[in-house]
Amino acid sequence: MSDNQPETEEATGVEETGIYDADGVISSDFLAHIGAAIADRATLTLKQDVSSLHQSEIGDLLEALLPEQRRALVELMGDDFDFTALTEVDEAIRLDIVESLPNAQIAQAVQQLDSDDAVYILEDLETEDQDEILAQLPFTERIRLRRSLGYPEETAGRRMQTEFVAVPPFWTVGQTIDYMRDDQNLPENFSQVFVIDPGFRLVGAVDLDRILRSKRNVRIEDVMRETRHAIPATMDQEEAAQIFEQYDLLSAAVVDENERLVGVLTIDDVVDVIQQEAEEDLLRMGGVGDEELSDSVMTAARSRVPWLLVNLITAFLAASVIGLFDATIQQIVALAVLMPIVAGMGGNAGSQTMTVTVRALATRDLDIYNAGRIIRREMGVGLLNGAIFATLIGLVAALWFRDPDIGGIIATAMVINMFVAALGGILIPLLLDKVGADPAVASSVFVTAVTDVVGFFAFLGLATWWFGFL
């Protein structure tokens, strides 16, 4: 650190970069400043103020700008625009920007990127544009990107970086360090050195800290670990993420079908995958498909129709159960007033159990070793909370309609429905998981169907029988 830098610069938090406000949102001052610079076509200001930002900060800035401002910003900055920022924005925004640029400029920019970022940007483009861009790249780079793009979406091969450091096992630590000092084509960041045989097949890996604490004359094969967690390029990214999580990996070798080293998967990509999978689970449980915030009304509406349709069917099923007892309801209207309480409380209790179950299945915390205990526990919870709320609701209903019979009937129906809800809440996701369906997607519909049907049937059926309408 040179002497003329102020001491207070030493350990500044993220807020102090000044582009975010207290809520962590791009500050309106900064946005106005950049907006004005774009309007004035003040290229120099933009280059100065935007180039110094981190790629994710540029991404946030792009998302806050208007579409035409975004395109103008990228155009004005020219070669100074950091294309990695495009990996940090919504897919729709990325496509909009990339499609506004000439393919030659994209080809130029892509060469500066790590291969995983390049693939991220190229994969959404039309095959035609992809081909045109790839054709303008140097041979080795073209081959590498083609190989990554050749693997299916959401696989390790798609997410891997093809730049890595690999050395033969008979090299010494000193040789390896000298090699790294001399080679100008090292990846931008790396945390381990791979060890390969003459056929490029993976032998092992050495973490950098291991190299640094070893003497120069030690042979690489004596400090390397055998790679127990090599990731096949065709492995699903979610499965790869689970391996990272389980074994606390920072990076892992990706190998092709002949166990040749083809790339490296790094933890930052895996963090994105973990976030994405958690998001998917949450959205699915809420009855929403793979939606993005930038989707249009039509796209969003369409993605939600299937779930609403399934719910419509179960709603009519529940309605037809009510229809069985229309004569009873006509005699005692109080039943119509109270019946949504029985169904609703059951639905809530069921969705509590279901949420716990779906999450435990996703994290693999629920398995054959504890399923029996958890099922028994949920039955206990259902009976216990069923009894508590049955008493409460029974009392209120009896007082409201001045009829102890109504109180007793709703209390009994509540206990039944809360117990069935607990049972359904755990058995339905377990069953769906067993048959290979995603419990996050479908459980909710079935659980609600069960608690509605059982809730209405138990309550109205009991009332019909008790008051002698049968």
Residue type, 378: E
Query: Please, what is the minimum distance in Å from the beta carbon of residue 281 to a copy of itself?
Result: 7
Report d(CA 266, CA 249) in Å as an integer: 8
Report d(CA 373, CA 378) in Å as an integer: 9
Dihedral of the alpha carbons of 137, 139, 140, 144, in degrees to the nearest 10: 60
Among 145, 167, 233, 349, binds a copy of itself (CB under 8 A): 349
**Interface of this chain with a copy of itself, residues 208 to 267, rule: CB under 8 A:** 208-209, 211-215, 221, 224, 226-232, 242-248, 250, 253, 255, 259, 267
Stretch that binds a copy of itself, among 104-112, 122-130, 149-157, 183-191 (CB under 8 A): 183-191
Report d(CA 320, CA 310) in Å as an integer: 16
Largest CA distance in the chain: 95
Structure tokens at 414: 């509540």
Structure tokens at 237: 């990214």
DSSP code per residue over 113-155? S-HHHHHHHHTTS-HHHHHHHHHTS-HHHHHHHHHHHHSPTTB
- CB nearer to a copy of itself: pick between 78 and 363: 363
Query: Please, what is the minimum distance in Å from the beta carbon of residue 108 to a copy of itself?
Result: 24
Stretch that binds a copy of itself, among 6-14, 73-81, 105-113, 116-124 (CB under 8 A): 6-14
**Interface of this chain with a copy of itself, residues 293 to 312, rule: CB under 8 A:** 293, 295-298, 300-301, 304-305, 307-308, 311-312
Distances (CA, A) of 261 to 190, 223, 282, 430, 450: 15, 19, 35, 38, 51
Q: How far apart are the first and last CA of the chain?
A: 90
Among 36, 39, 143, 333, binds a copy of itself (CB under 8 A): 333
Token match 């997607």: residue?
Answer: 441
Token match 């998001």: residue?
Answer: 279
- CB nearer to a copy of itself: pick between 186 and 431: 186
- CB nearer to a copy of itself: pick between 130 and 452: 452
- CB nearer to a copy of itself: pick between 146 and 304: 304
- CB nearer to a copy of itself: pick between 130 and 176: 176
- CB nearer to a copy of itself: pick between 31 and 101: 31
32 binds a copy of itself (CB under 8 A): no
Report d(CA 100, CA 155) in Å as an integer: 28
- CB nearer to a copy of itself: pick between 145 and 349: 349
**Interface of this chain with a copy of itself, residues 126 to 155, rule: CB under 8 A:** none
Stretch that binds a copy of itself, among 39-47, 98-106, 137-145, 194-202 (CB under 8 A): 194-202
168 binds a copy of itself (CB under 8 A): no
Q: DSSP 3-state assignment of 213?
A: coil
Structure tokens at 65: 């700008």
